[in-house]
Structure 1
Amino acid sequence: MNPIRIAKNWISYRRTMNELGNLSSQALSDIGLTRYDIRHIAARSFR
């Protein structure tokens, strides 16, 4: 796999983790997510 692609995917993963992690539990609930879901959602961007 291309190292540049891996780096871009990792940055996307971390950005998603940070953005969703900064939302309140109420905001996450409003969009149908829990704190447990954040890592799974972010992992999709790393694939």
Structure 2
Amino acid sequence: MAYTTETRSAGLGQRISAFRASLADRIAKNKTYRSTYNELQALTDRDLADLGIARSMIKRIAIEASETK
């Protein structure tokens, strides 16, 4: 007995739609990163210490915040 499987590649419209969704997601993540980073950078060392954050941790925290979006 012979079996056939039907395979279709994504059409151009689907690929464009997926690209736009991916681009929108990256833009949203970048916006969250920049916002978090800038807000934490604007805090004084005392404010950061009250939050338990060292200035050297700001970049990592901003990255983590953008990845959870």
Q: Same fold (TM over 0.5)?
A: yes
What value does the CA root-mean-square deviation take over the aligned residues? 1.2
Which residue identity is paired with 1:40?
Answer: R
Quote the sequence identity (%). Answer: 30
Selected match of 1:32 from 52, 60, 68? 52
Stretches of structure 1 that go unaligned for 5 or more consecutive residues are none
Letter in 1 for 2:65: S
Q: Which amino acid aligns with 2:31?
A: I
Q: Which of structures 1 and 2 has the larger relative contact order (alpha carbons within 8 angstroms, sep 6+)?
A: 1
- Alignment pair present for 1:2 and 2:22: yes
Deviation at 1:41, TM superposition (A): 0.3
Give the unaligned 5+ runs of structure 2.
1-20
> Which residue in 2 is equivalent to 1:20?
40
Runs of 4 or more consecutive aligned structure 1 residues displaced over 3 Å after TM superposition: none
Query: Taking structure 1 as the reference length, what is the TM-score of the superposition?
Result: 0.92
- TM-score under structure 2 length normalisation: 0.64
Larger CA Rg, structure 1 vs 2: 2
| Aligned length, in residue pairs | 47
